[in-house]
Amino acid sequence: MFSTFTHPALILIAGALILPFVRGPLRRPYLFLVPLLSMAAVVANSSLTGQHGLVQFLDWQLVFGRVDRLSTIFALIMGLMAIIGTLYGLHVDNAKEHMAAWFYVAGSLGTIYSGDYLSLFLFWEMMAFASTFLIWFRRGKGSLAAGYRYLLIHTIGGIILLAGIMLRYQAVGDIAFNLLDVKHPELYTWLIMIGFGLNAAIVPLHSWLPDAYSEASFNGSVFMCAFTTKTAVYVLARGFAGFDILVLLGVVMALYGVIYAVMENDIRKLLAWSIVSQVGYMVAGIGIGSEMAINGASAHAVAHILYKGLLFMGTGSVLYMTGKTKFTELGGLYKKMPATMICTVVGCLSISGVPLFAAFVSKGMIVGAGFESHLNWAAWLLMFGATGTFMYNGLKLPYFLFFGDNNCSNETWAKAADPPWNMQMAMSTGAILCIVVGSVPALLYALLPYPVDYHPYGGYHIAETLQIIGFASLAFFMLKKYLVPEDKICLDMDWLYRKAGSSFLWIAKNPIQWFDTAWGEAYRVVGLGSLMTTARFWSWFDWHGIDGVVDGLARSVRAIGDRVRTLQSGQIQYTIYFAATFAAIVLIAYVFLQLS
Amino acid sequence: MNKLIDYLRERLPNVVWTCYGILALVLAYSLVVDTSHAHTWVEKHIPFFWSFFGFGAAAAVIGFARWYGHSGIMTRPDYYDQDAECNGTCATTKSSGEHA
């Protein structure tokens, strides 16, 4: 279909702009067709290599189509997720939601194919702004504020990234986006890393993620869970492979996300914390930087998009059907939502790294790369985090949502049911792909950036995994009374800026407002009175002083004028008379003065 | 599916004993598996190492999360609502209808 490079982002953007005009029975086929065409472009591009879509802009060479194995694997999974996500929300009538989602995916694909910082930044910001609308479109109690917080944080991140790009351009003189010199980092290296890292939800720049994803619309979060963080993983893998600090940051993310997910009462926020944790594995893999680690990070990104999308579809179905997202308001739903339960459990098994499911073939590559690079501390802590992941996502989520105590109100229970056909079809597709990737890993490994020498289905790896899963399950059922969800929220680092924002408002509304009011009153009483007195004085002075002098002069001039006017009768003889008299007076005066 | 789950729930003791049996099989398998691919000394020389690791890590995560949560990190759900009421967004959010 496409013999040369065709940018899939253009197809999505054009599709989004035309969408409002496609109505009625054509709407749903059109919704399905556009991401399908975009995916076809990605597949066609995968047969190409090198740089395409070159545009000369001022002194800069923009590269809109850098195609290699790294960009191709990320573009393929993004294109696939756009199809699944659109299918999941196919019944949503609001065209603006689909437009926002497509612009968001276009931003992600544009970033992935960018070979220079300028076009990358353009698409990067497109992602941030488009995804904000996916939060606002929920129109929930907290969505508006969460969307503004999300936009604010990403704007700050964008400014930091832009500062890094400009400093780098000043230092290096080009805008090509390639691997940075991570062994000798400059200020711009750190700034660009922070800009990318904010989107990857690197702790402590992560709080926007659970805040925003739990407030997004039921289908908006399906898109959001896939694109922002994994696009950031891509750019980190492209620009920062082997940057040591990322190992530490990745491990911190992996553990931090686990602890908060264990405490969490909101099912979608639990999954958002899970993203922080799972992206931590990818960031750590990028920090390790070996071929096996980059392969592991890429493979885990693909697996993660599949199972996390599936999990957000499952919990999104619960939200869509019941309107609830808290464990303390749900429970026992296997009776009412069996299809949702099966698909969600597949997602839970996949993220837990159970044999035959997705993460089993990807997570082990990163941990193995850690051991092989002699970063044992990191590998052990990642294994520790993996056990925690199984506990909160493989056990806590399905147990308390589908099997535990039924906390549903009568109204919630009455509303609970499996969702519409398109949502079930999207979930089923996600579930099948999770099993395919986990069962036939060669399909995934063939797409990875480097040749793969990793065999997940060795006896030792299976024995190791089964022991961890089995005995972590034992610990869970022995200690689950300590895991019963409570109707509480967990304070995180967003407390700092939320409280800072509240403090700023308080300062604006109290001391500053008081001072402004007092100043206004003081001005009214003191300033205005003094001003009026002064004005009255100057009015009097003007009237009696300046006007007196001026008016006096004017009156004098007028009187003289009157006199002069009487002299000017218009008859020549009188004029001659007065002129001669005046000349005589002057002459006499002169003579007199000469004589005296 | 529902019938299968209900069937198993009605026979919970049998399910539990079956799980214990599976755990025993896993332990037995770990004794005979080739450990030459293990990365570290402890994996090769401590029997049932990953079983201890799995149980210990899960217990540690549960214990730490509970301690951390109840040390003040977990708080009432309306903790930030008072702030929201003050920043002028409530009027907008309350007036608009929420949809999932």
Q: What is the ipTM of this complex?
A: 0.85
Give domain status of residue B96, yes or no: no
pTM reported for the whole predicted model: 0.85
Strand ranges (E), A118-268: none
Residues B27 and B9 in one domain: yes
pLDDT one-digit tens code per residue, A250-272: 999 999 999 999 999 999 999 99
Tens-digit pLDDT profile for residues A212-230: 999 999 999 999 999 999 9
Note whether residue B83 is domain-resident: yes
Question: Chain centroid to CA A233: how far?
Answer: 14
Strand partners, A54: A63
- Token pair 């696009």 is found at A231
**Is the minimum CB–CB distance between B67 and chain A shorter than 8 Å?**
no
CA dihedral B21, B22, B26, B28 (to 10 degrees): 30
- A472 contacts B58? CB cut-off 8 A: yes
Cα-based distances in Å from B11 to A31, A171, A174, A401, B49: 47, 71, 69, 21, 32
Q: Residue B89's pLDDT band (boundaries 50, 70, 90)? A: very low
Domain assignment present for residue B48? The answer is yes
Tokens encoding A565: 């006017």
B23 and B55 both lie in a single domain? no
Q: What's the mean pLDDT in A183-203?
A: 96
Q: Are A371 and A464 in contact (CB under 8 A)?
A: no
B51/B80 same-domain check? yes
pLDDT band of B84, cuts 50, 70, 90: low
Q: What is the pLDDT of residues A413-468, one digit of tens each?
A: 999 999 999 999 999 999 999 999 999 999 999 999 999 999 999 999 999 999 99
Q: Does the distance separating the beta carbons of A338 and B35 come in below 8 Å?
A: no
Same structural domain, B21 and B56: no
A57-101 per-position pLDDT tens digit: 888 999 999 999 999 999 999 999 999 999 999 999 999 999 999
Out of B29, B65, B100, name the one closest to residue A323 (CB).
Answer: B100
Average pLDDT over residues A353-373: 94
- Residue B23 within any structural domain of the chain: yes
What's the total number of domains in chain B? 2
A484 to chain B: closest CA residue = B66
Å between B16 CA and nearest CA of chain A: 10
Express each pLDDT in A321-342 by its tens digit.
999 999 999 999 999 999 999 9
Spatial CA neighbour of A237 closest among A444, A433, A448: A448
Q: Please check whether residue A300 touches B, CB under 8 A.
A: no
Q: Positive or negative, the Cα torsion across A286, A289, A294, A300?
A: negative
CB atoms under 10 Å from CB of A141, counted, come to 17
How many interface pairs between A and B have CB atoms less than 8 angstroms apart?
183
Which whole-number Å values give the CA distances from A510 to A130, A518, A521, B82, B85, in the listed order? Answer: 36, 12, 16, 16, 15
Please tell me whether residues B81 and B46 are part of one structural domain: yes
Is residue B1 domain-shared with residue B25, that is, in the same domain? Answer: yes
Query: Can you list the pairs that A494-500 forms with residues at least 24 positions away whose Cβ atoms lie under 8 Å?
Result: A494/A149, A494/A207, A494/A208, A494/A211, A497/A149, A497/A153, A497/A207, A498/A149, A498/B80, A498/B83, A499/B83
User: At which residue do the structure tokens 């199972």 appear?
Assistant: A307
Q: Is residue B100 part of a domain?
A: no
Backbone angles phi, psi at A63, to 5 degrees: -120, 105
Residue A531 has pLDDT above 80, yes or no: yes
* pLDDT value of residue A494: 80
Please tell me if residue A342 touches chain B, with a CB cutoff of 8 Å.
yes
Phi first, then psi, for residue B77 (nearest 5°) are -65, -25
Report the phi/psi class of residue A546: left, alpha or beta, with left for phi > 0 and alpha for psi in -120 to 50.
Answer: alpha
Mean pLDDT rounded to a whole number for chain A: 92
DSSP assignment of A55-76 equals EEETTEEEEEEEESHHHHHHHH
Query: Among residues A115, A123, A106, A110, which one has the least CA distance to residue A50?
Result: A115
Six-digit token string for A61? 């060479």
pLDDT tops 90 at residue A558: no
- Range(s) of the domain holding residue B8: 1-33
Angle in degrees, CA A207, A125, A216, rounded to 5: 45
